């Protein structure tokens, strides 16, 4: 089994465990607030950003990969959200451990916001991303307040950032 396959299998198992814990009320998403780990410095598109740059307003950090079917499903909504009043300047994407060139994905969906590269998967691990796509919501202090797993919509992203305010 390749390292990538192993990591994806592990993430799938962790997602299943988290869902089971949520179902039994043992774990509550968003209950654990913690300072966001550093973002990757390498960029796919746009400028590099840090967690410190994001402080001052809630931000959505979208973890994706170009090989991920659900990421393609979500991508047009992410593009619409990025140019909406609720999303302008409040969105960063992280290409997670992509074995393809993500620039084609970013160009195809007209993503004009910062897109960072995490080829090792270390950032997604630090953000406890177990499934793609996952959107991590940061509050204005740069703390993780929610993990939104699966494809998001403009409405769901707007709600999540509004709740983080």
| pTM, rounded to two decimals | 0.80
Q: 145 vs 54, 69, 129, CA distance in Å?
A: 14, 26, 14
pLDDT at 22 over 60: no
All structural domains of the chain? 29-164 (3.40.30.10)
Handedness of CA 73, 79, 82, 84 (dihedral sign): negative
**106-127 pLDDT, tens digit each:** 999 999 999 999 999 999 999 9
SS3 105: helix
pLDDT of residue 8: 52
């Amino acid at each position: 089994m390749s390292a990538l396959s192993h990591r994806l299998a592990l993430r799938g198992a962790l997602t299943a465990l988290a869902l089971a814990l949520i179902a039994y009320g043992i774990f509550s998403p968003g209950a654990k607030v913690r300072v966001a780990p550093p973002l990757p410095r390498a960029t796919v598109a746009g400028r590099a950003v840090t967690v410190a740059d994001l402080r001052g307003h809630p931000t959505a950090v979208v973890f994706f990969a170009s090989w991920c079917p659900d990421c393609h499903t979500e991508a047009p909504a992410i593009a619409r959200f990025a140019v909406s009043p609720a999303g302008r300047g409040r969105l960063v994407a992280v290409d997670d451990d992509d074995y393809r060139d993500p620039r084609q994905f970013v160009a195809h969906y007209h993503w004009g916001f910062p897109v960072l590269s995490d080829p090792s998967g270390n950032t997604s691990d630090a953000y406890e991303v177990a499934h793609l796509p996952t959107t991590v919501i940061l509050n204005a202090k740069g703390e993780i307040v929610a993990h939104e797993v699966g494809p998001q919509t403009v409405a769901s992203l707007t709600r999540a950032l509004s709740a983080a305010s």
